[in-house]
C-alpha cells in the first residue's frame, strides 16, 4: 500500500498563505476550498491569515 508522503516547508507555506491573503483581503473571503491533494497545506495557511 502506498501513502502520500509530502514534506512541507512550513515557512514557504506561510508565505504562500500570506500572499493569498494580500491578494484577496478586500474581497470578503469567508471560506477557502481545496481539492484533497497538495493544495491542503497552502489552503490551511491562507485560512490562518484570514
Domain assignment present for residue 43? The answer is: yes
Q: For the chain, what is the total number of helices (H) and then of strands (E)?
A: 2, 0
Domain assignment present for residue 40? The answer is: yes
Domain count along the chain: 1
pLDDT of residue 3: 59
Domain assignment present for residue 5? The answer is: no
Q: Are 14 and 45 in contact (CB under 8 A)?
A: yes
Mean pLDDT for the stretch of residues 36-50: 87
Domain assignment present for residue 21? The answer is: yes
* Burial 7-39, CB ≥16 within 10 A → b, else e: eeeeeebbebbeebbeeeeeeeeeebeeeeeee
pTM: 0.72
Domain span at 29: 10-49
Domain assignment present for residue 1? The answer is: no
Domain assignment present for residue 32? The answer is: yes
2-38 pLDDT per residue, tens: 556 678 888 999 999 999 999 999 999 999 888 777 7
Domain assignment present for residue 15? The answer is: yes
Amino acid at each position: 500500500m502506498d501513502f502520500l508522503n509530502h514534506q512541507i516547508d512550513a515557512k514557504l507555506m506561510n508565505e504562500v498563505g500570506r500572499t493569498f491573503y494580500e491578494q484577496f483581503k478586500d474581497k470578503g473571503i469567508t471560506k477557502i476550498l481545496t481539492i484533497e491533494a497538495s493544495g491542503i497545506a497552502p489552503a490551511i495557511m491562507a485560512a490562518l491569515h484570514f
